[in-house]
Every structure is written in structure tokens, then in C-alpha cells.
Structure 1
Amino acid sequence: MLILDIDNTILPSKEAYDFSLKCLSEFWQRKAYGSALDFYDRFKLAREEIKVNLEGHSSNRLRILYFKRMIELKFGSLTKKRINLVLKMEEIYFKNFSKYLKEFFHLNKGNYKFTFKLLNEIQASHKIIFLSNENLRTQLIKLESVFPKNFHFNLLVSEELGIEKPSAQIFIEACRRIDSNPEQCVMIGDNHIDDIEGASKLGITTIHLKEMFGEREISKNLNISVSNSFVAHNLNSSLEYYISMRPV
């Protein structure tokens, strides 16, 4: 069975994140709240504060918490008007995040067409679950932006359990939801600690994806002690390798 990370594995979330923040900084400047540097400084400060206060909890990724704290730091308090500003910032963030994903999907439609061809081939006989350290609303917005209408899959986000990868519990729950033992599963993800080390400790075969659509070779992962771990630079070659390991 196949476990797939989402961010920077099947979606270019880092680039979309950077683009969304750039659009928000432009909004911040148009409203004369401060410079782009002021926006990024306040965002960084708010984000770091939330991350510390909610360490290890999936809520530490909620952008609306960052935006609320930014407004409090800027103005000293909330008002009805400032609540609307927080909500507007969240709206702008997700609108531009989705915009970037859709444009990337269009520019890479050949690669993605093959990606979903392989995923449909896999899901004909194997269950697929996407496993992510995020809140549900954020991931649903991302997936709705680009996933084909008739593609069926399972989804587990850290918000549902209150714990994050690389915790063993979240991998065990992912396996349970697709009726599998860890030894029957393959994990594909971009984060060496969260995805690869976390899964490998349970005996899950892993493929560390270094980039989404790069070179197609697959090699042994020499950065981890277990034997059933590999390194790839292309999502589609990773899926093909999965098929070769777990014939569909």
C-alpha cells in the first residue's frame, strides 16, 4: 500500500507559500501598514511565537493564527475592523496559494497527467493515503485546486490526531486506515526526518523524494541505516518503482 506526503512531494507548496506571502506583502504595502520588510518581519515574529506556544501541535501551522498575531503586534489590539483584516489576509493567502498551484499544474500538465495515470493504476488494486503535517482545511484547499475530479484517495492530516510526523502513532494510524501493516507499505516524501526516518523506524519501505520532476534515477539511501530506503529525484519514477516493488 502507498503512503504519500503532500507538500513538496506532489504539490510545490514551498514555492506557493513564498508566492502567497509576496502577494500579502504587496497588500500590506498598499494599505500603508508598512514596507515589505515590515510585513516579513512581523510575519516571522508572529510565526515563531505561535510555533513556540504550540510546539508539536498541528495548530502551529494555522496561518490565521499568524495573521491575528501580526495585527495584534501592529495595532496593539483587535477591533471588528481588524478582525475583518485578519480574515482578508487569510483569504488573500489561500487565493494566491491556489493560483500558484493551478499555474504550476498547467505548466507541468504532461508530468501530472502521467502522475495520475500511475496513481490510478496503483489504486486499482492498492490503497493510497496522503499523510501530512498540516491542518485539514489547508490541505483540502490545496488538493481541490489541482486534483482530478474522479481520483479517489484517503487522507490523514496531523490535525486529526493532534500529533505530527515523525511520530510513530501517525504512521500506524495511516496504515490502519488502509488496512495494512507497516511492512506492506511504501512511504514517498520529501522530508528526511518527518517522512523517511519516521516511517523507516516502523519497517515501512521509504523513498526520499529530493525534487518533484527531476532526473529519473533511483538509488539506495545511504543516509539511513535500514536497507529498504531509496532516494529519488522524480515523483513519477518513484511511483513506477513502487509498482515494480508492489506489482499492481
Structure 2
Amino acid sequence: MALFLDLDNTLLPSKPAYDFAIGECAKDWMERGLGDGFFSLYESARKKVKNRLVGHSSNRLRLLCFKLMMDEVKNQTNFKQESDLKHQSVQSGFQTKDISDVLWMEERYHLHFLSYLKSESKKEIYQTRLFPKLVEISNQFPVFLTTNETLRTQLLKVSSFLPEFFRFTLITSEEVGFEKPSTEFFSYVLESSKQNPEDCIMLGDNWEDDVQGANRHGIASIHIPKMWGEDADLIKYPSTSKIPIWTASNTVTALDFARLWLFQSQK
């Protein structure tokens, strides 16, 4: 018996943390004197990174985005210089001195992201409803955090947010070399858990990566569209698959059901 849990937007509020961090980074960019148009530059860079590195964990690295943004700023500056100074030799491209700006922006991003998570983790809804339940379940069944991210990023998130006595095994797509919902990823998770797929259940917010990915590999799953939906409903999703799928209104409801399902499956 094993519980597979997605991390981002299932156990911790990554989306609002991300929005907060990018908003603060825009201010940092301006204060650093790196120019205007942060949001358009960032979205363009993010799209390029995503398209170029489809299926690779590195497509989530903000460092790559900030490096591309700096490339674009330098190219724009050099184009203007070359237009104004046609007969003067001009340095072009990324320069050694620009490295500190890129690294500084990445550092600021993580600072803002983690500060949001730390503040959020202190809220009563986490302290009294989610965290005690995670600790209790992790003392009863093996728990595997399965995520499409880089290892360093997820270690930072977990250490900043989840409770100290929560027991788990963390598996990232960077370690596996493949992202959910690939066969390689789920095969690795099942091999690591030393469990049969029919004895496991997957919880996650992403329909394709978490739910459909698990279903295709014979693992029961619960879809959690919202971490903190107001109702306490859980319904079985109408599917032709023999592997059950449920939809839960929030993470706590999903955890309660998963815990009961694991106990019943033991008998």
C-alpha cells in the first residue's frame, strides 16, 4: 500500500506563490536598472524555454528565463548603439559583468517564492487541517511525493512549507529523466515504492499528468481541482476504465478518502 501525492497546488499553493514572486521580481528588475517591460520579456522567455525543453525538467528553471531576458535586453541595447554609432566598434551580446544580474534575479525569485510559502504555512487552515493529517497518514502508509520539477527547487519548497515530522520519499522528474505522465516516470515511482499499481492511489491537481497518467498505469487516482474547495464532496468520475477515478472538492477530503481506501485495500 502506498500513497502517491503531487506537490504543487495539491499540498502547497504554488500558483499564488509564483504570481507573488514574479510580481516582486518585476520591482527588483526595475530597481536593478535593467529596463522596462519585465512582464513581456519574461513571458516571451518563458514560452521559449517551455517550447524548447518540452518534457524536460529544466523547462521550469527561472534561471533560464532570466538569462534569455538579459540576452534580449543586451541585444536591444546593442542594436540601438550600432544605429547611433555606425562607425564605432561596439561590444555585443552577453558580457561577464551581466552574470551577476542573472544570478541575482534568480536569487530574488526564490526569496519571494519561499517567503510566500513560509507565510502561508503559518495559517490556521494548514496548521490545524492539512499538516496534522499529512503527518498521521505518513505514519501509517508510505508516502511518495511525485513531481515534475528540479530536485533543488522542490527541496526548497518542502523545507519551507511542509511540517517537520511529515515522512515521505521525494521523486522529481529531474531524477527520473522523464516527466509525468510518461511511462518511465510512473514505472520509476512504482519500482521505488516496491508496490503493485492496484495497491496504490495517486492524488493530484493536474488531470493529464497526475490523474490520467496514474490511470494509464493501473493506479487509482483522485483529482483535486482546488486545494481548498468549500464543500466536502467526493464523487466517482464516470469512466470506461476499470481503474477508478474520483474527484474531490479539496485536498483534505481527498486525503481522508485515500486513507480509508488504503486501509480497506489492506484487508
TM class by shorter chain equals over 0.9
Contact 1:191–1:208 (Cα < 8 Å) also in 2: yes
Contact 2:222–2:248 (Cα < 8 Å) also in 1: yes
**For residues 180-218 of structure 1, what are the alpha-carbon distances to aligned partners after superposition, in whole Å with 9 as ceiling and x for unaligned?**
111111000000011100100111010000111222110
1:70 aligned residue: 69
Q: For 1:173, which of 188, 197, 201 is the aligned residue? A: 188
Contact 1:216–1:234 (Cα < 8 Å) also in 2: yes
Q: For 1:139, which of 138, 145, 154 is the aligned residue? A: 154
Q: How many angstroms apart in 1 are the aligned matches of 2:108 and 2:178?
A: 28
User: Partner of 2:122: helix, strand, or coil?
Assistant: helix
1:98 aligned residue: 114
Question: More displaced, 149-158 or 188-197?
Answer: 149-158
Contact 1:168–1:199 (Cα < 8 Å) also in 2: no
**For residues 51-71 of structure 1, what are the alpha-carbon distances to aligned partners after superposition, in whole Å with 9 as ceiling and x for unaligned?**
222121111111111111110
Q: What is the Cα deviation at residue 174 of structure 1?
A: 1.0
Q: How many angstroms apart in 2 are the aligned matches of 1:5 and 1:95?
A: 23
**How many residue pairs are counted as aligned between the two chains?**
244
Q: How many angstroms apart in 2 are the aligned matches of 1:186 and 1:159?
A: 22
User: Partner of 2:223: helix, strand, or coil?
Assistant: strand
2:240 aligned residue: 225
Q: Quick one: percent identity of the two aligned structures?
A: 38
1:194 aligned residue: 209
| RMSD (Å) for aligned C-alpha atoms | 1.5
Question: More displaced, 79-88 or 6-15?
Answer: 79-88
Aligned pairs for 1:1-248 within 5 A: 1-35=2-36, 38-76=37-75, 77-107=93-123, 109-214=124-229, 215-222=231-238, 224-226=239-241, 228-247=244-263
Contact 1:101–1:146 (Cα < 8 Å) also in 2: yes
Paired letter, 1:51? K
User: Partner of 2:166: helix, strand, or coil?
Assistant: coil
Gap runs ≥5 in structure 1: none
Q: Give the TM-score taking structure 2 as reference length.
A: 0.87
Paired letter, 1:239? L
Instruction: List structure 1 runs of 4+ shifted beyond 4 angstroms.
Output: none
User: Partner of 2:217: helix, strand, or coil?
Assistant: coil
Q: What is the Cα deviation at residue 105 of structure 1?
A: 1.5
Q: What is the Cα deviation at residue 106 of structure 1?
A: 1.7
Paired letter, 1:61? R
Q: How many angstroms apart in 2 are the aligned matches of 1:131 and 1:185?
A: 13
Q: Larger Rg: 1 or 2?
A: 2
Q: How many angstroms apart in 2 are the aligned matches of 1:185 and 1:89?
A: 40
2:88 aligned residue: none
Contact 2:223–2:248 (Cα < 8 Å) also in 1: yes
Contact 1:111–1:213 (Cα < 8 Å) also in 2: no
Q: How many angstroms apart in 2 are the aligned matches of 1:140 and 1:183?
A: 29
The verdict on how the C-alpha distance between 1:235 and 1:112 changes in structure 2, with shifts beyond 3 A counting, is: farther
Contact 1:172–1:182 (Cα < 8 Å) also in 2: no
User: Partner of 2:249: helix, strand, or coil?
Assistant: strand
User: Partner of 1:246: helix, strand, or coil?
Assistant: helix
Q: What is the Cα deviation at residue 233 of structure 1?
A: 1.6
Paired letter, 1:105? S
Contact 2:135–2:163 (Cα < 8 Å) also in 1: no
Question: More displaced, 39-48 or 83-92?
Answer: 39-48
**For residues 79-128 of structure 1, what are the alpha-carbon distances to aligned partners after superposition, in whole Å with 9 as ceiling and x for unaligned?**
23210111100111000101111122222x33343323222222223110
**For residues 14-53 of structure 1, what are the alpha-carbon distances to aligned partners after superposition, in whole Å with 9 as ceiling and x for unaligned?**
1111110000111122233333xx1111111111112222
Q: Give the TM-score taking structure 1 as reference length.
A: 0.93
Contact 2:138–2:166 (Cα < 8 Å) also in 1: no
